[in-house]
Amino acid sequence: MSILVDENTRVLVQGITGNEGMFHTRQMVEYGTRIVAGVTPGKGGQKVDGIPVFNTVSEAVRETEANASAIFVPPAFAADAILEAADANIPLIVCLTEGIPTLDMIKVKEYLRKKNVNLIGPNTPGIISPGKCKIGVMAGYIHRQGPVGIMSRSGTLTYEVVDQLTKKGIGQSTCVGIGGDQIIGLDYVDLLRLFEKDPETRALIMIGEIGGIAEEEAAKFIEKEIRKPVVAFIAGLTAPPGRRMGHAGAIISGGKGTAQEKMEALEKAGVRVVKNPALVGEEMAKIIEN
Amino acid sequence: MKIHEYQAKEILRQYGVPVPKGRVIQTAEEAKRVSEEIGTEPVVLKAQIHAGGRGKGGGVRVVRNLSEVEKVAREMIGMTLVTPQTGPKGKVVRKVLIEERVEIKEELYLGVVIDRAKASPVIMASREGGIEIEKVAAESPEKIVKEWIDPSIGLRPFQVNKIGYGLGFGPVEVGKLRPIITGLFNAFHEKDCLLAEINPLILTKNGEFIALDAKMNFDDNGLFRHKEIVVLRDLHEEDPLEIEASKYNLNYIKLNGNVGCMVNGAGLAMATMDIIKVFGAEPANFLDVGGGATVEMVKNGFKILMSDPDVKVVFINIFGGILRCDTLAKGVTEAVREVKVKVPIVVRLEGTNVEEGRKILNDSGLNFTVAAGMYEGAQKVVEALKKVGA
């Protein structure tokens, strides 16, 4: 088992004919992901490495029964691409695009409330259930299948943690990048709920960072609902207030959203908070090996 | 992106929000003429810098006699203003806003921000104006009226009523607040703001509301559709190295330490700063060369780092993943030769072909210390710092 994606996931790629879209489509196919369709308006009828391209998502879904979408569309058009995927009732939408205007995402979120679909991202490396399915831009080979579920607001920092685990022989059930923006789809709480129910997942890693209150909300939820052990790292203890640290959502504003506050909230909820990012894997090893 | 008070007031004026009569000047010679145009005595001179708390550092001066206005303007333009928000170095004042002085009966707060948890804009209003809203929120949250705006229906008239009557005003005042609340929200929404704030919004002795101070922050991701906002950027308000970095599309923030960091990805970049601190050193900067970390980006990153005299050791931490380490390593050595990096460099590279990458670094004849992971990298940074005596 795993959460959200597995070997039966049928993926379509929005923006498949662009540079990024095409490169990562090939990487995903190489990993074993079932890419069944691509969508680029105006390029319907073409093929990319034998994958049929359609003009619209609804047509692609009708023809190929795709049940997940990966969005590689430039920021100005990405909100529309998410809406199109939601309109076609694709159950899982993964938006890799960085740089979507915040107010566009607020409208998207409002529309998604009316739909029974899950959005991952935007501004995410994607999601991977090792050995089964990868929808995103992460390097497949650093992962291995196993018992640890990972949730993160960051890309390369997640690779770092995955690498630490894999080098210790600890695999991952599913790794989800929830996205570095202010307004995102699935958050920690949504994923915690799914991981808690997933029989393959024995323990969880949460990688957070400064800005917002998502980690605090997660802490409250963990205290009440989560039985599985959780290890957390929060990036940005040394980040100055009022500055946006690369990610649109990583900012301490009005004294709120500091790493310190988040660590305290998580510790209070019984989470093992690691202060040295190089030791996350080691902390997890203590749990798994017991 | 941030703008000045006078620019924010100009935008709000276009949206029907009353602002004091005034104009911005850049030379003291203009002061007298502008004051005469305003036509009232006294006038208020306000230093235009991107930081709050200006009143505390002498950045807001009331001039009762117009014959003195040029002298005061001369004192202000070119001064280094230190406020609680500028940091100890302060900021040089290059522009001064001259305004009519209005008689204040009451100070209010009115602002629009994004509530991340609710994924919705929220209007906040309070009769405790003139101070930071965070303080009010922490000490007496009951004094803040909040209205969340459903993006599909926008701000509705009943919500303006809820705010106005919620603040305890009567029908006359609520009627006068209506265009101000609506105008502020429309400006926020149409200009892709992350924050639009009038603090204080004052009620004058004549019973009128006027925006005495205004602040707007824009969503950088929305700027592509707002050319009219992009031109308002004031480069004097930004760190020169940060401007240079933004030209290369690098995310760079100057900090106070001496370990120059170059990392791919924002989260890993923050974590790298954190681990440096764990080992007892201080990062000189945040520098994210992008998740993809191309050779070109690494070169540009070095140019930025080497322009900072505080940097005594460089720590490169790149988790390439899909990227090939041999390509990256070649790029790093090229960049070091080209930019003539003179300080010790600790490199941690991870990704496809990592062994080949490390070999290229070790065989380059350059001053590299190659680390096998983040932990070892941070350790070696601290050792290198000791060697250079920093």
Interchain CB distance below 8 Å, A235 and B270: yes
The whole-number pLDDT of residue B223 equals 97
Integer Cα distance of B318 and B315 in angstroms: 10
The whole-number pLDDT of residue B342 equals 85
Instruction: Quick: pLDDT tens for A153-200.
Output: 999 999 999 999 999 999 999 999 999 999 999 999 999 999 999 999
Interchain CB distance below 8 Å, B273 and A125: no
The whole-number pLDDT of residue B338 equals 87
The whole-number pLDDT of residue B232 equals 98
Search chain B and give the residue with CA nearest A243: B253
B22-25 β-sheet, strand order:
B22-25, B96-100, B43-47, B60-63
ipTM over 0.90: yes
- Residues of chain B found within 8 Å of residue A109, distances taken between Cβ atoms: 119
Which of B116, B226, B278, B382 should we substitute to test contact with A (largest number of A Cβ atoms within 10 Å)? B116
The whole-number pLDDT of residue A162 equals 97
The whole-number pLDDT of residue B353 equals 85
Which residues lie across from A10 on neighbouring strands?
A34
Collect the ranges in chain A with pLDDT lower than 70: none
Integer Cα distance of A93 and A4 in angstroms: 10
The whole-number pLDDT of residue A290 equals 77
Residue B160 has pLDDT above 90, yes or no: yes
Instruction: Quick: pLDDT tens for B195-218.
Output: 999 999 999 999 999 999 999 999
Residue B293 has pLDDT above 80, yes or no: no
For residues B20-34, give the mean pLDDT.
96
What is the residue whose two structure tokens read 């300080």? B343
Instruction: State both tokens at B163.
Output: 């705010």
Residues of A recognised as catalytic: 247
Of residues B134, B151, B320, nearest to A107 (C-beta): B151
What domains does chain B contain, in order, with CATH numbers? Answer: 21-100 (3.30.1490.20), 104-230 (3.30.470.20), 239-387 (3.40.50.261)
Q: Which of A81-90, B173-182, B340-349 has the lowest mean pLDDT?
A: B340-349
Is the separation of the CB atoms in B183 and B175 below 8 Å?
Answer: no
Instruction: Quick: pLDDT tens for A216-248.
Output: 999 999 999 999 999 999 999 999 998 999 998
> Is the CB of residue B197 less than 8 Å away from at least one CB of chain A?
no
Nearest 5°: phi and psi at B63?
Answer: -115, 115
Residue B328 has pLDDT above 90, yes or no: no
Check if B6 is active-site.
no
How many Å lie between the alpha carbon of A235 and the closest alpha carbon of chain B? 5
Which of A96, A106, A188, A258 should we substitute to test contact with B (largest number of B Cβ atoms within 10 Å)? A106
For residues B126-141, give the mean pLDDT.
85
User: What percent of chain B lies above the pLDDT cut of 90?
Assistant: 74
Name the 3-class secondary structure at B17.
coil
Integer Cα distance of B165 and B168 in angstroms: 5
Integer Cα distance of A211 and A262 in angstroms: 9
Q: What is the DSSP string of B317-384?
A: EEEEEEEEHHHHHHHHHHHHHHHT--S-EEEEEEEETHHHHHHHHHTT-SSEEE-SSHHHHHHHHHHH
Q: Which helix (H) or strand (E) holds B107?
A: strand B104-115
- Residues of chain B found within 8 Å of residue A137, distances taken between Cβ atoms: 291, 322
Q: Enter the pTM of the model.
A: 0.94
How many Å lie between the alpha carbon of A73 and the closest alpha carbon of chain B? 15
What is the residue whose two structure tokens read 């003179």? B342
- CA separation (Å) from B298 to A54, A119, B250, B360, B377? 38, 33, 10, 16, 18
Which of A104, A156, A213 should we substitute to test contact with B (largest number of B Cβ atoms within 10 Å)? A156
The whole-number pLDDT of residue B296 equals 82
- Residues of chain A found within 8 Å of residue B278, distances taken between Cβ atoms: 275-276
- CA separation (Å) from B77 to A13, B36, B73, B247? 56, 19, 6, 29
For residues B60-66, give the mean pLDDT.
94
Beta strands in chain A (DSSP E): 10-14, 34-39, 47-48, 51-54, 68-71, 92-95, 118-120, 126-129, 133-136, 145-152, 172-177, 203-209, 230-235, 272-273
Residue B292 has pLDDT above 80, yes or no: no
- Residues of chain A found within 8 Å of residue B291, distances taken between Cβ atoms: 125, 137, 155-156
Interchain CB distance below 8 Å, A106 and B120: yes
Residue B126 has pLDDT above 80, yes or no: yes
Closest CA to A129 of A180, A68, A83: A68
